[in-house]
């Protein structure tokens, strides 16, 4: 027993050290510890929030960031924002997709179809960098898995790696640099102490209060829009989360019943040996 406890303690310490290393970009501020509906073992996505988050992505972020691992049709699948098939057809068509080559050997643009993926607005990486002061806007499909946000040991263990918190913190974390910091800041960059890749980010603050109008009349402050779009990006990174959780729960119930049955079978088989 003592040995087991010791092993457990070492394993836990190891985990904490690893998590600490992952988050230790010099001087980066911890992510803001906001909470979401989808955290914890029974948490689910809030469909209204995912729909609002989609709208923020579409109207603001999509002019720079692609989501190459997400298809439009995913938006009507179980466990997602719950758009209807008709709605998805209509919203896919608002994107322009480069396709081809056609019969004349040339590539051509056409409206998006539900089977298409969220395209990049730029023809290639060079065009993207040229339009953004030398930095390429990263694909956002998996950003909430790629960038963990450190927001406290217990949060980290219980609520997940903090990817959505990281995105929220970057979007709401622009600060006025002190004179000292300003002197170091390269031309065309912005000061954001939450950004994982140094404090200077090439993305100008993308959100301003009231920018997107939501159909459900929900608040559209920078804070509210940042929550909604970060929740949406948590879904794009793990569209099957709800299925995974309910399957996991069923498996636990199954194992509990199985353990009980095995216990009684054992008792019965060994009954006359006692
Ligand atoms: C005008 C173009 C533009 C818009 C609009 C824009 N971004 Fe960005 N974004 C960029 C660029 C460029 C970078 C890379 C910054 C760098 O590397 O310095 C970036 C970086 C990011 C990062 C940090 C990625 C990392 O490496 O940690 C996140 C998160 C992000 N954007 C999310 C968003 C979201 C969400 C929206 C919509 C609300 C948005 N962006 C709108 C251009 C844009």
Encode pLDDT of 184-242 as tens digits: 999 999 999 999 999 999 999 999 999 999 999 999 999 999 999 999 999 999 999 99
CA of 153 to the centre of ligand 1 (A): 27
- Give the model's confidence band at 15: pLDDT under 50 very low, under 70 low, under 90 confident, else very high: low
Indicate which residue's Cα is closest to atom 5 of ligand 1: 61
Beta carbon of 203 within 6 Å of any ligand 1 atom = yes
Provide φ and ψ at 27, rounded to 5°.
70, 0
- Distance between CA atoms of residues 226 and 219, nearest Å: 11
Indicate which residue's Cα is closest to atom 24 of ligand 1: 138
CA of 144 to the centre of ligand 1 (A): 13
Q: Exposed, middle or buried: residue 162 (CB in 10 Å: 0-12, 13-18, 19+)?
A: buried
116 C-beta neighbours (distance < 10 Å), count: 17
Tens of pLDDT, residue by residue over 126-169, are 999 999 999 999 999 999 999 999 998 888 888 889 999 999 99
Beta carbon of 60 within 6 Å of any ligand 1 atom = yes
- Distance between CA atoms of residues 22 and 36, nearest Å: 22
Beta carbon of 205 within 6 Å of any ligand 1 atom = no
Beta carbon of 225 within 6 Å of any ligand 1 atom = no
Beta carbon of 65 within 6 Å of any ligand 1 atom = yes
Indicate which residue's Cα is closest to atom 11 of ligand 1: 137
Q: Which two tokens stand for residue 223?
A: 């804070």
């Amino acid at each position: 027993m003592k040995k087991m406890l010791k092993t457990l303690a070492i394993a836990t310490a190891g985990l904490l050290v690893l998590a600490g290393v992952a988050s230790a970009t010099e001087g980066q501020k911890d992510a803001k510890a906001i909470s979401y509906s989808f955290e914890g073992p029974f948490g689910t996505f809030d469909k209204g929030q995912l729909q609002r988050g989609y709208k923020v992505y579409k109207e603001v972020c999509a002019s720079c960031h692609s989501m190459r691992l997400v298809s439009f049709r995913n938006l009507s699948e179980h466990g997602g924002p719950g758009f209807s098939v008709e709605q998805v057809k209509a919203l896919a068509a608002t994107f322009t997709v480069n396709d081809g080559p056609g019969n004349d050997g040339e590539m051509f643009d056409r409206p998006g179809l539900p089977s298409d993926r969220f395209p990049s607005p730029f023809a290639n990486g060079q065009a993207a960098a040229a339009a953004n002061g030398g930095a390429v806007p990263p694909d956002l499909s998996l950003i909430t898995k790629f960038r963990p946000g450190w927001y406290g040991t217990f949060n980290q263990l219980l609520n997940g790696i903090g990817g959505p918190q990281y995105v929220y913190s970057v979007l709401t974390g622009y600060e006025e640099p002190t004179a000292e910091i300003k002197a170091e800041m390269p031309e065309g960059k912005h000061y954001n102490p939450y950004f994982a890749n140094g404090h200077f980010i090439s993305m100008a603050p993308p959100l301003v209060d009231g920018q997107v109008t939501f159909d459900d009349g929900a608040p559209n402050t920078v804070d509210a829009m940042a929550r909604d779009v970060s929740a949406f990006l948590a879904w794009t990174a793990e569209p099957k989360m709800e299925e995974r959780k309910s399957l996991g729960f069923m498996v636990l119930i199954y194992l509990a019943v199985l353990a009980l049955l095995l216990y009684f079978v054992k008792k019965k088989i060994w009954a006359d040996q006692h």
